[in-house]
Structure 1
């Protein structure tokens, strides 16, 4: 992820009023995590798996704080049960920012299943999402998603791919 994109994501998360960052670091966002962790405007929480992460983000929501879970899209499979429980059973929303590993043009064979399963899982759980392929669309997507979660009281995902994570 280029430095300009890292700055754009950080600025957009701030503009959206998000103060709690929960993450399970992965390679496509590797330049983003240290910047978020070092920024004194954020409460940065690193987790051991995505199910734990979405649960912590949901706990922040219950405490009246805006949070986002930042992860690889493969983590959606790990987080499916907590997301279903939190959103469908209890109405507790979680905002997610994910990379789109396995998108068309993926260079790693092991990434393909992540792309194949992500959108069908989001659709099955009725989670609205925005796929962002261009850097100039990042800020709008993050801010819109943060507004949507406040209105819908349900999960939302921003998925970064293309020149955004190049």
Structure 2
């Protein structure tokens, strides 16, 4: 990926969520997205922020919103994704629910390719998601963020989960 790309902005992420018809964002606060995404999200009149204590709760709440005809996205850290593997396996994969997760890669020291990170958890994320057969995308810059809305729309159309790995700290 060339350095000529614009940096990842929270505005691009929020715009993508809105373009995909997301109404709710279920989140556990995290360092990767706090300044650029969570703070603006908390005051955005189009999106409703639901704060939860545990990432597993976010999976179940997102599924409940879906059952009620609402579109939700989940915003968590990779550590919470790893801690929620059983809920992700059951609800997203086995029940084929469009659970759309934006996952911050805290300490992603190789944002162009997280598999090259020195951080054990970060460098295992892509192989783990691939092993599960889950669709995913990387969000490294605003050009990548432009692909989030179509990916979320596809996930809802096909009733399949999606993980978007946020590899850089988004700016406001």
Does structure 1 retain, via aligned residues, the 8 Å contact 2:10–2:170? no
Q: Structure 2-normalised TM-score?
A: 0.82
Local SS of the residue matching 1:93: coil
Aligned positions, number: 159
Gaps of 5+ in 2: 1-6, 112-117
Matched, 1:63 2:68: yes
Q: 1:5-154 alignment to 2 at 5 Å?
A: 5-31=9-35, 32-105=37-110, 112-140=119-147, 142-154=148-160
TM superposition shift of 1:104: 4.1
TM superposition shift of 1:125: 1.9
**Residues 63 and 129 of structure 1: is their aligned pair in 2 closer, same or farther, counting only changes over 3 Å?**
same
Local SS of the residue matching 1:28: coil
Deviation readout 1:67-94 (Å, 9 max, x if unpaired): 1001111211111111111133322220
- CA distance in 2: counterparts of 1:8 and 1:99, whole angstroms: 15
TM superposition shift of 1:159: 1.1
More helix by share: 1
Q: Structure 1-normalised TM-score?
A: 0.85
CA-based RMSD = 2.3
Q: Which moved more, 1:65-74 or 1:83-92?
A: 83-92
Local SS of the residue matching 1:71: strand
- CA distance in 2: counterparts of 1:49 and 1:119, whole angstroms: 22
